[in-house]
Amino acid sequence: MGLILGGILLALVTSAIAVVIVLVVQKYTDPLRERHDGYVDAIGMVFAVVGVLYAIVLAFVVISVWDQMSSARDDSFTEATALVSTYAYAQTQPEPERSQIQALAHDYTVEVINDEWPRMARHETVPLTGWSTLDRLRQAVTRTAPGADASDAAVDAYQAALANVDAVAAARESRAGVAVRGLPVVMWFLLVGGGMLTIAFAYLFDIAGLVPQIIFTVGLTVMVVLLLYAVYQLEYPFARGERLEPDAFRFALARFAQLTG
């Protein structure tokens, strides 16, 4: 089921359930509304406090998971771009350093696509074999260090190559972290429990007319549920419906082939 279709189906089911709850609540709270004049005012005061607090928490979480998704996307392109730059640097080096650097960069990229990405989709830890390949790549680049009589351009190119390897390592570390780091259980308890509490108070409002009551409560319920649905889909950048694909690394492989003709 597609991400959008799943959201629409969830909204429809939630709306139907919300309408039924409105009808039930209206039926059994009418006598209470008639006996207590301050009923609506009390509910409104509590709802204002609970609603504002929950809105702040929910907004913070939505922004947090979205930023994490954006950062994961940027890190993957940073990692792949640095690999391409390292591969291009090897083109300027003599054999056997050229072949060694390019082979290691290619092997690392293929390993990320074929082995690490499926693991990240299952929230599994990224294996250490990729780190081993990256360590050998750094050693291969280090062996191309220019001599004392080298030109400034050669020294700058070598330093840039080392910086690119470091950029790959930093982006890899970030990618490995977000692949297994979701929201804490206590945060999900707060999101779900706070949402249910906020919605529950909304059903107790006394709005003139059944139709306006249904529109108000159903709209609030669907909005909260859809926001929680979005948080769930964005919680793990490399899994679930909104997961990132290894497009940056596929592009890197294409650039490798292009650079070597």
Cis peptide before 96 (omega within 30 of 0): yes
- The rounded distance, in Å, linking the Cα atoms of 165 and 83 is 7
User: Tell me: the pLDDT tens digits for 105-126?
Assistant: 999 999 999 999 999 999 888 8
What's the pLDDT score for residue 91? 92
Classified as helix, coil or strand, 192 is helix
pTM, two decimals, is 0.83
How sure is the predictor about 43, in pLDDT bands with cuts at 50, 70 and 90?
A: low
Measure CA 150 to chain center: 45
Q: Which of 57, 39, 58, 62 is nearest to 201 (CA)?
A: 39
How sure is the predictor about 225, in pLDDT bands with cuts at 50, 70 and 90?
A: very high
User: Tell me: the pLDDT tens digits for 162-186?
Assistant: 999 999 999 999 998 888 888 899 9
